[in-house]
Structure 1
Amino acid sequence: MKIIPPEILLEAYAQGIFPMAHEGEIQWFSPEKRGLIPLDDRFHIPHGLAKTLRREPFDIRWNSAFREVMLGCAEREETWIDETILESYCRLHQLGFAHSVECWDADGLQGGLYGVSLPGVFFGESMFSRKTDASKIALVALVRTLRENGTVLLDTQWMTSHLSQFGGYELSRKAYHSALKSALAGHVPRANPSGNGMTDF
């Protein structure tokens, strides 16, 4: 199976570029408007979701089913996750540069998200839900851990109505590249007190 070499993927992310599969080909993107989720007090948890979180409907796990999360994200009529993308990111996961956040219950894996990490930045790739609010709960868990790790940027590529409810916002390509460069250059690694095994990105 052909994969995108990890060094090419990581260099692309460091330059604000990411791949997607389209009609059997890998295409590379750098959107004019870049979506981000704030990691400060601008991050907003909708009232209904806050009530659900208090019930703790899912067991949150990290990196226990990375491939399965990717396959869950690909379970839709149109997907940009083909076999090349799948195997390329699974390789990044093996190398410690890609991570999954998962929501489990007694019935199994019910949702989650995955993304790529570089020092100071997490690049969210995709999310999915099989039960109500699973992907949203995974996002809240991700934000909490990124805050603990001292991560500066949570990149979502494009902004959607689903993400805007969390306080998501957009930057121009130029402003994003400046913020990305600053985050990568100025990140100071910190120990992670959350106990989930992820010491730093």
Structure 2
Amino acid sequence: MSIPWLESHTPFPPTESALQDPDGLLACGADLSTNRLIAAYRQGIFPWYSDPHPILWWTPSQRMVLQCKNFIVSHSLKKKLRQLAKQESTPSAAIQIKVDSAFEQTMLACASPRQASGSETWITRDIIDAYTRLHHMGLAHSIETWIDGNLMGGLYGVSLGKMFFGESMFSFASDSSKLALAYAVRFLEKHGVSWIDCQQQTAHLASLGAAPVTRNQFMAHLQATVTLPPLPWQTGILRADGNIH
């Protein structure tokens, strides 16, 4: 079966027409303009490719989703979260969870482990530029773990309505990405988000409580949430109560 080639003006084909092998491949081509990316996420589609290949657009038949209520917090992480909550309001706090203070730096950090190992990364310069444009529009956000003034872990994703699409995480210190995710879950859940899209199945995501849902289940939830009022994102420090200060 041939893969549809998209020009800049071509709409996406129906998601149910995605290939079974490779699972979820829907189309290729087009561009990474903000309008194209917003249209993609609203339809449950995301870009995933490596240079120098063309842009590939995906919508897997089984979508990995982290329901906020199912987030698994290990015993060691619980201990760190308690310690963080106790000291987070002090001016000299060694660890801070910040929102949108270093979006592009977070994306670069997510790409760096793959580049250091010699592996291809899908977080290309074009991807970084495209999502930074979404960030400037208030549609892409980073949650960051800062330790002693250094960015040591975090994640970034796209936020539309009451839906959050997680893109990637990184960790330069033990549990630093999990601390960011735990605080992100609190913020998202507090403001009406129940599902975090994790896109593809991995053992690491499963260990955090994520589980696959069918494309139809995902699309039903997406359609019910993506057009709701946006979340109260702002640059600042994210606290244990789920508020940004």
Tell me, yes or no, whether TM beats 0.5: yes
1 CA distance for matches of 2:122 and 2:133?
17
2 CA distance for matches of 1:191 and 1:93?
14
Residue identity matched to 2:244: N
In structure 1, the partner of 2:73 is 45
2 CA distance for matches of 1:82 and 1:44?
31
* Structure with greater Cα Rg: 2
Deviation of 1:165 (Å): 2.0
In structure 1, the partner of 2:49 is 21
1:138 is paired with a residue of what secondary structure? helix
In structure 2, the partner of 1:137 is 179
1 CA distance for matches of 2:229 and 2:132?
27
Among all aligned residue pairs of Structure 1 and Structure 2, give the percentage whose two residues are the same amino acid: 40
Residues 96-144 of structure 1 deviation map (CA, whole Å, 9 limit, x = unaligned) = 0000000001151001000000001000000000111111111101100
Instruction: Give the unaligned 5+ runs of structure 2.
Output: 1-30, 85-93, 234-240
Contact residue 20 and residue 28 of structure 1 kept, 8 A = yes
1 CA distance for matches of 2:142 and 2:170?
11
1 CA distance for matches of 2:81 and 2:62?
31
Residue identity matched to 1:155: D
Describe how 1:144-159 pairs up with structure 2 within 5 A.
144-159=186-201
1:112 is paired with a residue of what secondary structure? strand
1 CA distance for matches of 2:81 and 2:242?
17
| One of 64, 67, 70 as aligned partner of 2:104 | 67
Deviation of 1:191 (Å): 6.2
| One of 162, 169, 177 as aligned partner of 2:211 | 169
TM-score (norm 1): 0.88
2 CA distance for matches of 1:61 and 1:107?
11
RMSD of the alignment, in Å? 1.9
Residues 147-178 of structure 1 deviation map (CA, whole Å, 9 limit, x = unaligned) = 11111321010132212122211101122111
2 CA distance for matches of 1:93 and 1:131?
25
Bigger drift between 83-92 and 3-12 goes to 3-12
Deviation of 1:85 (Å): 0.4
